[in-house]
Amino acid sequence: MEGPGDGVIERGAFAHGAGPAVVRVQLLYPNARVFLSGPDAPVEIRKACGTALRLLALSAGQCISAESLALALEYSTTRSVAPMIKKLRELLGAGQWGHVALRNDHRAGYRLDPGLIQLDAFEFRGLVEPVVQEYGDCADVEDLPPAAVAEQKLAMLERAAGLWRANPAIGLEDLDEAGHQYYYEFDVLHDGMVKLQTLLAMRVGTLPRLRHAIKTLENVVGNHHSPDSHDWCLLIRAYHSTGNPAKVQDTYARARRHYDVEYGQHVPREIEDAFERSSSSVTGFSLFRSPGDTVKPLPDVPPAQISRGDDNRASLLEVADLIGITTHPELSLTGERMEPVELMHRVRQRLWFSGVLASKWVQDTEVLGELDEFLTVLDHSPQGDVRFMIMNPDGYRRLRELRGDEISAEHLPVLARLTRQHSSFQVKVFSHLPRFRIHVLDNDVVTFSSYRLDEESYLPDDQKPKSPHVVLDPLAPFPLADAFASLFREMWQNSSFLDPERYA
């Protein structure tokens, strides 16, 4: 799937005798991609050729010697380099674009002509670097420019974030000094982008931007062994700005537990101050800025004031807001069905799935390819966490009674292979008929749909009762999302890991 700015500057290797085209090279993906003339689908460059392409493209036209390439690719001899370069040229268009763009100076080595490529990694750097250089030393929201300026800077970072699916030097970090340096530089740049996105989003102060800040901060305090006290303060302030005192109290309680368990000490004074400012509703502590008549913070309504017997539409909508049933566009999920590719493109760190077979994830070759690529990215992230819970074939008896001969275990060898290949991926199995299909995405979205495991469920498609996926917002005052996330955790604890060797 193509991201922002994908495509080719010109199509065709030598259009009307005008010389070779400038083509787009994407390195911000687990597999390097090149958009050549002809079919719209990019050419994926994998394994040794992909590694070489990353080194050559990131070197910005500098020559890389055969000795350096052999060392980076862990070849025992430089004689293996020339056949690899030949294969890479063929992938890049052989005697046309690849032959012209990838040049060989036998004395100096190989170089990729930077004038013939548009590199997404450099586009990313061009968007992020100026903002990081200008505001990278800012530690708090008040250090940033006014909201209108912050919104312009944030738009640049959001465009850059849309390009990023993986470090452009992924796979190079342990190969040689140059590869490690490229990986380190882009990793630092990405971290700076994430930090500034959070602060700028809070400065802008609209609900979608505050949601993004909360999502990022929750990842920091939830996944880092030693989060900074400043991160806890920002999270308290962000929740306060959304009009969510229950989440403010919960965050403060978590911070106290964290410092008690990790350090055996009281929570730092700055966190106490942030909580007191929120509790006292100090003027200026809320960052919320209403963009006209669009979404406003949810009201702080105690449970006792919710009318449960009122069928009035307005009351039902209010209850839906309070418990977090939502269709907000900033969640980036559309329609009544949550398709695997849509979910993978949205998730940054965590995807939990529970269902019957997970067949939609592995039976379609394109979806399976996306899943493999998605897991490759998360393998390089300490916070990568993908968990699938499905039915154990040993428990299919009742399901077979309902479905007849439709049940198979062909998905299990595929899932077993993925667990062997990807450190970020875990699969567990259970032996009961599940009541719900559940997705838990990062820290801010939960979806569920109910299973009707009876004869009605297996009618022809046009006669089946619909079971839409309900999207839940954990940032609501009384979130139903927490219940489904807790249900997943409980099921996970009481399920067994899939034995990969059984399906080898």
Whether residues 421 and 498 share a domain: the answer is yes
Q: Is residue 345 included in any domain, yes or no?
A: yes
> For 416-435, what is each residue's pLDDT tens digit?
999 999 999 999 999 888 88
Residue 64 lies in a domain: yes
At 149 the pLDDT is 95
Question: pLDDT exceeding 90 applies to what percent of the chain?
Answer: 54
Q: Which of 176-185, 262-271, 356-365 has the highest mean pLDDT?
A: 262-271
Q: Are residues 253 and 353 in the same domain?
A: no
Among 181, 145, 171, 195, smallest CA distance to 45 is for: 171
**HEC states along 344-356?**
HHHCCCEEEEECC
In a domain, 67, yes or no: yes
Amino acid at 246: A
Q: pLDDT of 120-129, one tens digit each?
A: 999 999 999 9
489 lies in the same domain as 369: yes
Q: Are residues 261 and 346 in the same domain?
A: no
CA–CA gap between residue 23 and residue 36 (Å, rounded): 6
Check residue 105 and give its pLDDT.
80
* 138 located within any domain: no
- CA–CA separation, 352 and 80 (whole Å): 43
Q: Are 323 and 181 in contact (CB under 8 A)?
A: no
Residue range 262-290, pLDDT digits in tens: 889 999 999 999 999 999 999 999 999 87
The rounded distance, in Å, linking the Cα atoms of 177 and 138 is 31
Whether the CB-CB separation of 447 and 477 falls below 8 Å is answered with no
State the Cα–Cα distance between residues 54 and 246, nearest whole angstrom. Answer: 48
Among 147-151, 288-292, 337-341, which stretch is predicted with the lowest mean pLDDT?
Answer: 288-292
Q: Do 473 and 354 sit in the same domain of this protein?
A: yes
The CATH number of the domain where 394 resides is what? 3.30.870.10
**156 is a domain residue:** no
Give yes or no for residue 463 having a pLDDT over 60: no
Structure tokens at 50: 């992909």
pLDDT band at 12 (very low <50, low <70, confident <90, very high): very low
Q: Whole-number mean pLDDT of the chain? A: 84
**Using 50, 70 and 90 to split pLDDT, how confident is the model at 69?**
very high
- What's the rounded Cα separation, in Å, for the pair 113 and 61? 6
Phi first, then psi, for residue 141 (nearest 5°) are -60, -40
The answer to the question of residue 461 being in a domain is: yes
Helices (H) and strands (E) in the chain, counts: 18, 13
**Do 225 and 310 form a contact (C-beta atoms < 8 A)?**
no
In total, how many domains does the chain have?
3
**489 located within any domain:** yes
pLDDT over 70, % of the chain? 83
pLDDT at 6 over 50: no
Per-residue confidence at 436, pLDDT binned at 50, 70, 90?
confident
Residues 281 and 342 in one domain: no
Q: Any idea what the CATH number is for the domain that residue 48 is in?
A: 1.10.10.10
Q: In terms of pLDDT, which residue wins out, 294 or 440?
A: 440
Residue 9's pLDDT is 39
Q: Does residue 339 sit in the same domain as residue 441?
A: yes
pTM for the whole structure: 0.78
Secondary structure (DSSP) of 411-459: HHHHHHHHHHH-TTEEEEEE-S--SEEEEEETTTEEEEEE---SGGGGS
Q: Are residues 366 and 485 in the same domain?
A: yes
Determine the pLDDT at residue 116: 94
Q: How far apart are CA 357 and CA 386, in angstroms?
A: 16
Mean pLDDT of 344-355: 91
Res 334: pLDDT: 61
Distance from CA of residue 5 to its chain's centroid? 18
- Structure tokens belonging to residue 151: 């919104």
4 or 370, which is more confident? 370
Residue 313: count other Cβ atoms within 10 Å of its Cβ: 8
**pLDDT for residue 39:** 59
Q: What's the CA angle centered on 33, arms 43 and 168, to 5 degrees?
A: 165
In sequence order, what E strands does 8-108 have?
23-26, 32-34, 43-45, 102-105
Mean per-residue pLDDT for 218-241?
89
Q: Which domain holds residue 258?
A: 221-290
Instruction: With beta carbons less than 8 A apart as the criterion, state whether 187 and 50 touch.
Output: no
Q: Which of 120, 141, 160 is the last residue of a domain?
A: 120
Of 429, 423, 424, 251, residue with least CA distance to 350: 424
- What radius of gyration, in Å, describes the C-alpha atoms of the chain? 26
pLDDT score of 302: 45
Same domain, 343 and 284: no
Domain boundary, last residue among 74, 90, 120: 120
Among 95, 120, 145, identify where a domain stops.
120
Clarify whether residues 263 and 405 are in a common domain: no
Q: Kindly state whether residue 160 falls inside one of the protein's structural domains.
A: no
The whole-angstrom separation of Cα 422 and Cα 256 is: 35
User: What is the pLDDT at residue 403?
Assistant: 62
Chain centroid to CA 79:
40
**Distance between CA atoms of residues 299 and 108, nearest Å:** 67
What pLDDT is stored for residue 452 in this prediction? Answer: 66
Q: Are residues 382 and 468 in the same domain?
A: yes
Are residue 435 and residue 347 in the same domain, yes or no? yes
All residues at 6 or more sequence positions from 30 whose CB lies less than 8 Å from its CB, including other chains: 165, 166, 170, 373, 376, 377
pLDDT in tens, 195-206: 999 999 999 999
